[in-house]
Structure 1
Amino acid sequence: MTFIGVSTELEAGMAELSTPVRVYVAAGRFTEPDPDLPELAGRIRTLLAAVAVDEAWRRFLSGYAPPSVPEICAALEPVETHEAAAFLARVAGVDLVWPSHRHLPAATAERAADRVVSLLGPEASWWTNHDAGCGAVNGLTPLFDSLLAGTDGEHFALALQIADD
């Protein structure tokens, strides 16, 4: 598959995981040579900036500026590739504040998440702002947020759920 095909399919898969006002996504192909975690963090920062100017969240994020790339890198924890699809389906489908509420039907979220993880492949690197060891979240916003970011070194996929109680 050409890189244009992968990018297009990644964008389509991530769009299926997006929900208005709650789950924000981004996907594409890096333009930098040899992208690594800082370039992925730069894409995360861009997504955070888009949330901050969204009319639905602007009043909650007044004066907010996304963390710097080094701060985002420091907030990220690795996720095993075999756990990425289930994690992505949860970020997209299950509400952060009210876990009994779903943003997407489970089957829809799982199918789209499986496809995205498959497109990035078994050698992809996955990152989250969750500390699996203690269950804490390294918040990227002053609100509740949950992020999963993946890259195969050429393409990236990001999903961010944001919530306020």
Structure 2
Amino acid sequence: MTSTGAVLAGLRAAMAELATPVRVYVAAGRFTEPDPDLPELAARIGLLLADMAADEAWRRFAPEYVPPSVPELCAALEPLETHEAAPFLARLATVDLYWPTHRHLPAEPAARAADRAVSLLGPDGSWWTNHDEAGGAVNGVSPFLDSVVAGTDGEHFVVALQVAPD
């Protein structure tokens, strides 16, 4: 059995490997609320959106941006099957939303880091994205092109966000 400290350290390390300056933002942590669920995960997404918006690279384009409320974020999220989470997370860290031929990170290291994050949250982890795969749409959560994937095991969470100019 893995200790919560080791899981948290592993999640933070894996997610840090998926981050890139100005385009791919990540977060990993442990919930402090009792019995966290989707609203608590959405709140963490909101915090990451606020971090992105505070980055000078994006603040100048949307100085008045305030992340959506927790209910709005919950409404923008769609469930993602656990077996789809690692490939989706790796793709978010590698393939540019605006220029799909541009790569932010090499695919193999990103896939390994994504696999580790998903593995640490376990097979019963729940995963969410702002992509509506059935409708082929993205429920934007920022004033830019964006892609979010977030997961939790009910104790820990990870969030990845890629933004691109539109």
Q: CA deviation at 1:16?
A: 0.1
**What amino acid maps onto 2:26 in structure 1?**
V
Q: Equivalent residue for 2:60?
A: 59
| 1:12 alignment partner in structure 2 | 13
Within 5 A, what are the aligned runs for 1:2-151? 2-151=3-152
Cα distance in 2 between the residues matched to 1:116 and 1:86: 11
Number of equivalent positions: 165
Separation (CA, whole Å) in 2 of partners of 1:89 and 1:56: 23
**For 1:8 and 1:57, how far apart are their aligned partners in 2?**
29
Q: Over residues 25-63 of structure 1, what are the superposed CA-to-partner deviations in whole Å (9 max), with x where a residue is unaligned?
A: 000100000000000001000000111110111111211
In structure 2, what residue type is equivalent to 1:58? R
Task: Give the distance between the partners of 1:40 and 1:65, measured in 2 at CA.
Answer: 17
State the alpha-carbon separation in 1 of the partners of residues 66 and 11 from structure 2. 27
- For residue 134 of structure 1, report the CA deviation from its aligned partner: 1.4
Structure 2: runs of 5+ lacking an equivalent: none
CA distance in 1, matches of 2:148, 2:131: 8
1:5 is paired with a residue whose SS is helix
SS in 2 for 1:110: helix
Counterpart CA distance in 2 for 1:30 and 1:159 is 16
Query: Which residue matches 1:163?
Result: 164
Give, in angstroms, the shift of residue 135 of structure 1. 1.2
Distance in 2, Cα, partners of 1:136 & 1:98? 17
Deviation beyond 3 Å, 4+ runs, structure 1:
none
Offset at 1:144? Answer: 0.2
Secondary structure, aligned partner of 1:109: helix
- Cα deviation for residue 126 of structure 1 reads 0.3
Q: TM-score, normalised by structure 2?
A: 0.98
Counterpart amino acid of residue 122 in structure 2 = G
1:67 to partner: Cα distance: 0.1
Structure 1 residue ranges without an equivalent (≥5) = none
